[in-house]
Structure 1
Amino acid sequence: MRASRLLSVLLLLQNRGRMTAEELAAELEVSVRTVYRDVEALSAAGVPVYADRGRTGGYQLVDGYRTRLTGLTEEEAQSLSLAGLPGAAAELGLGTVLAAAQLKLYAALPRELRERAGQVAERFLLDVPGWFRGIESLPQLAEIARAVWEGRRISTRYRRWDRTEVDRVLEPLGLVLKAGNWYLAARSGDSVRTYRVSRIADPVVGERFERPSDFDLAAYWREWGEQFEKRLYPRKAVVRLSRLGQDLVPFYLGAVGARALRECRDEPDEDGWLRVELPVEPGAPALGELLRFGPELQVLEPADLRAEVVAAIERMAVNYG
């Protein structure tokens, strides 16, 4: 553990130049006293690190010194694919190895590219979850991730959408983070299915299994997403949208509604209203989604859905006298 921390101190000084003991302690999440001991150990090992005294002082390496200890471990190399998602990496149990991998990667870069990479990190940030929600905090996620890495079966209880629970033995093939929610692609029997990780209870990692050589996680997720979307939005509603209603579509109906709006070939009328065919959920959810638009949307077809909207508006009018 200490050897890894000494290497981190060395790489931090190599990447960032002068750093105070307090800055190093905060970066490594240790005490300032521990930093003092680590710097002494580096000096004793022959690393040319020296201290500038005073208010603007700090530790730094002799100009021109660069370590060649930049080889990535297997875990660190794997974690680099999550470099834009530090929260997700932490949930998977890779937070510390991701930080170490990034340090080693920066240390291996020439000064010009290292400065450029630092500027990118200062100017661009990837924040995946939507507003008013974060990435799910799941204590079982790290254990499931280990099973995915090692190709081991999982015995678990799974809570289905109707709240019934079933026992499952899963062969985990991949994890996907979608809109702040984690999903597991796993083989059960002869088929590959998708499981919401938050509904997986008490996973027990078991023996190894043979991973199918032709499984492509990205292709599977793309196809599964398309089929899920068709099941979720089996109906079409022909509506008229005001200019404001058109602006509200991405917020109220998400990517599905936004795509329908982009694919619409009709032109707005002289008042700016646009006739659009929107995918909607079955039953009551569709009614709720359409009523959110208030007076900015008018349902034209199908007739039964239009009648449901009219009846709901009349009931609302009664409530308000």
Structure 2
Amino acid sequence: MARVAFAFRYGQVIMKFSEALAVLRLLGTRHEDAMTVQDIVAKWNNLYAEKLHKRTAQRYLSELSTDGIDGRAVIEVDASSKERRYHLRVSEMANWLMTDEAALYQVLSLQVLQSTFGDAVAAGVERQMDMAEHLTQEQRRTKRLRDRVRIVPDGVGRLRAKISSEILACVMDALASNQLLRVEYRSAAGNHSNRELNPLGLVAKDGTLYLLAVKGLGDSPIAYPLQRMKSALVVPRPAHDRLDFDLDRYIEASHQLSHGIDATLEPKVIKFKVAPEWIYHFKERPLSHLQEIHESKNSGDWAVVTVPLPVTILLKVFLASFGPGVEVIEPQSLRREMGQWLAQAAARYSENLTP
């Protein structure tokens, strides 16, 4: 790699550092992706305005595939066929371009992203991932951490929603190119429709992906789950910029894309009692930084939790998941709904059901 860093040899320019990096960017890390000189020239000339001649490419590749006094060359040559083929030597590239700590973070980050985006997230990053995998295997400390650290989502372990990789790629393309998107969509009730959407953002939540989009400039954003899209097509027309829309602010204002029980997501003071054996859930992971817990001096008494939150469907489900261990006190409307809901559930379990 030292041969790449030096720009001069015996007083004559061998190769500019920028040119060396440009050549390295063209190559893959895997043997099956090895390229001939002609392939490299064609790819270069397709990407860069300044043309690359075959003889110049041969000289560059000769320099980059020759071992130096301080280490092996960064390009490996496959001379088994009639034409020589070239690919990056993973071990050398990894040692020069990535620390073992960065490699570990990249491998763990990919685990998180793949749990939501699937294999689509790895498209185009094979080279970086090959280097990261190599380094985490080479270094004993990072290998241990790589093998002993896992990141799993919340919940009961439901499978990810099945999202077509073609539809996901189309949605990403529309967002990246700032163009309209036409989709065939099936609602939760099973109704089919064709919609031309102005995409605003993509959000991963609860094992699926939501496209935030509007149909008209004055419309409020709607979250479209990608698994309900039967087809998608990028429309070759520019999307309309919504200068009043900020994705992060929208997520915060909608409380992580929550659906309100009433017409508004304005916070209300929620007060509920929690059994002693369940209070640790609210101590260890508060519902909000404004949450307050009032406990009695008697260890067997129930604690009272107060927190300002919008009344959403997910909040109702969350509180109900504690069964008899949580009792809503306020607001009265939520207490009444929870009581009716749980009474209906209890009535079903009290029936003498026959198979």
TM-score by length of 1: 0.58
Equivalent residues of 1:83, 1:98 under 8 A apart: no
Larger displacement relative to structure 2 (92-101 or 138-147): 92-101
State the partner residue of 2:51.
none
Q: Distance in 2 between matches of 1:213 and 1:315?
A: 49
Cα offsets for 1:66-91 (capped at 9, x unmatched): 4276699xxxxxxx896343525864
Structure 2 gap segments, 5+ residues each: 1-24, 34-61, 76-87, 98-105
Q: Distance in 2 between matches of 1:101 and 1:289?
A: 40
State the partner residue of 1:34.
none
Q: Distance in 1 between matches of 2:349 and 2:225?
A: 40
Does 2:158 align with 1:158? no
Cα offsets for 1:275-309 (capped at 9, x unmatched): 224769689x95x7656434433444537457637
Q: Distance in 2 between matches of 1:85 and 1:176?
A: 14
Does 2:30 align with 1:8? yes
Among candidates 99, 103, 107, match of residue 130 of structure 2: 103
Equivalent residues of 1:150, 1:208 under 8 A apart: no
The SS at the match of 2:296 is coil
Does 2:215 align with 1:182? no
Q: Distance in 1 between matches of 2:187 and 2:30?
A: 45
Among candidates 220, 230, 242, match of residue 250 of structure 2: 220
For 1:177, the aligned partner's letter is: A
Q: Distance in 2 between matches of 1:200 and 1:290?
A: 31
Among candidates 217, 234, 237, match of residue 205 of structure 1: 234
Cα offsets for 1:18-46 (capped at 9, x unmatched): xxxxxxxxxxxxxxxxxxxxxxxxxx999
Among candidates 132, 153, 156, match of residue 131 of structure 1: 156
| Closer/same/farther in 2, CA of residues 315 and 105 from structure 1, 3 Å limit | closer
Does 2:259 align with 1:259? no
TM-score by length of 2: 0.53
Give the structure with higher Rg (CA): 2
Percent identity at matched positions? 17
Q: Distance in 2 between matches of 1:198 and 1:318?
A: 36
The SS at the match of 2:120 is coil
| Displacement of 1:149 | 2.5
Among candidates 220, 244, 254, match of residue 277 of structure 2: 244
For 1:273, the aligned partner's letter is: W
Q: How many residues align?
A: 258
Q: Distance in 2 between matches of 1:101 and 1:228?
A: 36
The SS at the match of 1:87 is helix
For 1:241, the aligned partner's letter is: V
More helix by share: 1
Larger displacement relative to structure 2 (135-144 or 270-279): 270-279
| Displacement of 1:181 | 1.0
Larger displacement relative to structure 2 (121-130 or 146-155): 121-130
Larger displacement relative to structure 2 (306-315 or 96-105): 306-315
| Displacement of 1:247 | 3.9
Q: Distance in 2 between matches of 1:304 and 1:7?
A: 62
RMSD (CA atoms): 5.1
For 2:176, the aligned partner's letter is: W
Q: Distance in 2 between matches of 1:155 and 1:182?
A: 17
- Map residues 80-95 of structure 1 onto 2, 5 A cutoff: 83-85=110-112, 87=114, 91=118, 93-95=120-122
For 2:216, the aligned partner's letter is: G
